[in-house]
Structure 1
């Protein structure tokens, strides 16, 4: 099973993972956002539902996703564009959308406000 962690990490944490990877230490798959606010701006409830429709499945077409979600194709396309821009999903051959993971782990820590 291939799991991706979606979370919030600062530059220092990201650099530490990168350094460890260069040393040959396995890091797993990460999709990181710079802040909790950015995470929630990109990952809206409808986009989580879209992502859920892709988890563990072969790449899917826009029409298949729209039908499966019961949503307008233009709205689904806008969500795909936003997720692709953020590096969450990929467009692959035949204009299909891919999310090559079997599960998603969401991880972030929120501290005291300044």
Structure 2
């Protein structure tokens, strides 16, 4: 199963993971955010629903995705564009969009203020 980890990580942590990968250490797929607030800003409830629908589904047209989540095509297009700009979704050569993972793991710690 191809799993992606969504996490909160500092720039230093991301740089260390990159350096380790360059040294041949397997890192797995990661999408990192600078803060928990940024995760929730990018991954709104409606965008999370899109990811849930797309997980393991392969490439799809935006219209089919909109039908799958029961939303307006224009609104789904706006959310897909936001997820594409953040590097969370990919666009195939034929224009279909894909979330190329079969599972999602979310990993971050909440500390006392």
- Counterpart CA distance in 1 for 2:56 and 2:24 is 27
Structure 1 unaligned blocks of 5 or more: none
TM-score by length of 1: 0.95
Output one character per residue of 1:19-73: Cα deviation in whole Å (capped at 9) or x when no partner. Answer: 1111100000000111111110000011010001110011000110111111000
Instruction: Specify the alignment match of 2:7 in structure 1.
Output: 7
- Please give the TM-score of this superposition, normalised by the length of structure 2: 0.96
Q: Cα RMSD over matched residues?
A: 0.8
Q: Distance in 2 between matches of 1:75 and 1:105?
A: 26
What CA distance in whole angstroms lies between the structure 2 residues aligned with 1:40 and 1:58? 25
In 1: Cα distance, 2:11 partner to 2:94 partner: 36
Question: 2 CA distance for matches of 1:111 and 1:87?
Answer: 27
Aligned to 2:109: 109
Matched residue, 1:22: 22
Q: C-alpha separation between the residues in 2 aligned to 1:10 and 1:41?
A: 17
The total of aligned residue pairs comes to 113
